[in-house]
Amino acid sequence: MPDMHMRRNEGRKMATGATEAAIELRSTGESRNRSRGNPGTGDKEEVLLEVRGLKKYFPILGGLFRRPVGYARAVDGVDFYIRRGETLGLVGESGSGKTTAGMCILHLIEPTAGKIRFNRDGEFIEVNSRTVRSLRRSMQIIFQDPYSSLDPRMMVQDIIAEPLEAQGVRSRRERYERVEELLNAVGMSSQHMRRFPHEFSGGQRQRIGIARALALNPSLIVCDEPVSALDVSVQAQVLNLLDDLQERFGLTYLFIAHDLSVVQHVSDRVAVMYLGKIVEIADVEELFNNPRHPYTEALFSAIPVPDPDFQYKQIILEGDVPSPIDPPPGCNFHPRCRYARAICSKEEPVLREVGGDGHLAACHFADDLVLMGVWGPGIAQTG
């Protein structure tokens, strides 16, 4: 057994080109330990953002008069917090509500219910439509699609200067000086200022988007799949850039992604979403070594291993993700779960502490099941 896990681990190191290159630059496996052991960005335990019971239901309009005939529960009661200076990865399949959750935090979508509190200089401010304008300085977003996130009719200097202008930097010269600074920070130069977005490659455009997000010196950046639209070789560059910027400016990231190898590389902690709910949340190594939710296990088993001799023990989930309009009773995951029992279709499991150290899972049998992680039990300690 250990042998197989070792193989698997090695395989993962070589997984995608992106992670490979990124890991090399980060001197392998322990990258995250280093940054966690060395705070440098203030008290690691300080909570920067707290989300409680966040819900977003989208009405489904039907009939002649466009009345709501149902609701799609894109986000259905999500709780989590992010500590200052850390990266919280948010993973899940498409349609699991990750992006909606991110947008709700920034109030780009009005949440249906729930409280979001943001820690500004030690004082918790509730994010709502009244306070959000003043909080825009502190919270920013990087979008998934670098082709749609930059206005094609604006020059790079005006795109990056837009947040400065909106937040009251009056002098044009001052704004452009800052733009120059920001372009340098993201590895571009001031000669790009007077060009239009279409003159740049995807990776460069994403850098421009990052510069715009940085313009106001935010403390939290929601990264909404920032690399999934990019070429694998460019992914690594952008991930490293994000990492450097985090260190330099003491940023906190909510990193939304579906690529597990990317999430594993960048995150300190990871939350797994399924059908609008968080099913498991833990420190990255703990989660990858020792998943406690059957869905997390199934996700991990889907990570490809580039080794022709590797014997897959993939867990193939049956059926589709249920519709968020009419989620199954009890545990959302029970129709596809191979460990499901009678209770699973009746009672909804709560997200509760399992095994200490902030490891939470929403499964009735989280304490009893022995699930297979990516690195397998026993491997992480040795290597």
Partner 1 sequence: MWKKLVRNPVSLLGLILVIFFIFVALAAPWLAPPRYPDEPYRIPRYGWSSTPRPPSPEHPFGLTQGQYDIYYGIVWGTRTAFRVGLIVVGASCLIGIIVGSVSAYYGGRLDEVLMRIVDIFLSFPFLIAAVVLTTILGKGLDKVMIAMVAFGWMGYARLMRGSIMAIKQEEYVLAAKACGVRDFKIILRHILPNSIFPVLIQASMSLGSVVITASSLSFLGVGAPEGYADWGQMISFARNWLLGTAGNPLEYWYTVIYPGLAIVLFVLAWNLIGDAFRDILDPKIRA
Pick 62 or 358: Cβ nearer partner 1: 62
Query: Beta 252-257 vs 220-224: how paired, if at all?
Result: parallel
The mark string for 312-351 relative to partner 1 (x by CB under 8 A, - otherwise) is ----------------------------------------
Pick 115 or 137: Cβ nearer partner 1: 137
Pick 106 or 317: Cβ nearer partner 1: 106
163 contacts partner 1 (rule: CB under 8 A)? yes
Closest CA to 358 of 243, 247, 268: 268
With CB under 8 A as the contact rule, the residue among 28, 128, 148, 314 that binds partner 1 is 148
Minimum separation from the CB atom of position 252 to partner 1 (A): 16
> What's at 360, amino acid-wise?
L
Minimum separation from the CB atom of position 54 to partner 1 (A): 18
With CB under 8 A as the contact rule, the residue among 63, 122, 152, 319 that binds partner 1 is 152
Minimum separation from the CB atom of position 161 to partner 1 (A): 10
Span of 19-27, 103-111, 241-249, 343-351 interacting with partner 1 by CB under 8 A: 103-111
Closest CA to 280 of 334, 354, 361: 361
Phi, psi for residue 172 in degrees, rounded to 5: -60, -40
Minimum separation from the CB atom of position 111 to partner 1 (A): 15
110 contacts partner 1 (rule: CB under 8 A)? no
Pick 118 or 333: Cβ nearer partner 1: 118
Pick 210 or 282: Cβ nearer partner 1: 210
Please work out the total of residues on this chain that contact partner 1, with binding judged by CB under 8 A: 32
In the block, tokens 């968020």 appear at: 324
Pick 229 or 303: Cβ nearer partner 1: 229
Pick 188 or 278: Cβ nearer partner 1: 188
With CB under 8 A as the contact rule, the residue among 1, 27, 65, 313 that binds partner 1 is 65
Pick 33 or 148: Cβ nearer partner 1: 148
Minimum separation from the CB atom of position 163 to partner 1 (A): 4
The mark string for 117-146 relative to partner 1 (x by CB under 8 A, - otherwise) is ----------------x--xx-xxx-xxx-
Minimum separation from the CB atom of position 17 to partner 1 (A): 26
Minimum separation from the CB atom of position 78 to partner 1 (A): 20
Site for partner 1 in 347-376 (CB under 8 A): none
3-state secondary structure the chain: CHHHHHHHHHHHHCCCHHHHHHHHHCCCCCHHHHHHHCCCCCCCCCEEEEEEEEEEEEEEEECCCCEEEEEEEEEEEEEEEEECCCEEEEECCCCCCHHHHHHHHCCCCCCCEEEEEEEECCEEEECCCCCHHHHCCCEEEECCCCCCCCCCCCCHHHHHHHHHHHCCCCCHHHHHHHHHHHHHHCCCCHHHCCCCHHHCCHHHHHHHHHHHHHCCCCCEEEEECCCCCCCHHHHHHHHHHHHHHHHHHCCEEEEEECCHHHHHHHCCEEEEEECCEEEEEEEHHHHHHCCCCHHHHHHHHCCCCCCCCCCCCCCCCCCCCCCCCCCCCCCCCHHHCCCCCHHHHCCCCCCEECCCCCCEECCCCCCCCCCCCCCCCCHHHHC
CA atoms of 18 and 22, how far apart (whole Å): 6
Backbone Cα Rg of the chain: 21
Site for partner 1 in 164-223 (CB under 8 A): 165-167, 196, 198, 209, 212, 215-216
302 contacts partner 1 (rule: CB under 8 A)? no
Give the largest Cα separation in the chain, rounded. Answer: 67
With CB under 8 A as the contact rule, the residue among 130, 153, 170, 313 that binds partner 1 is 153
Task: List residues near partner 1 by CB under 8 A.
Answer: 65-66, 103, 106, 108, 133, 136-137, 139-141, 143-145, 148-153, 159, 162-163, 165-167, 196, 198, 209, 212, 215-216
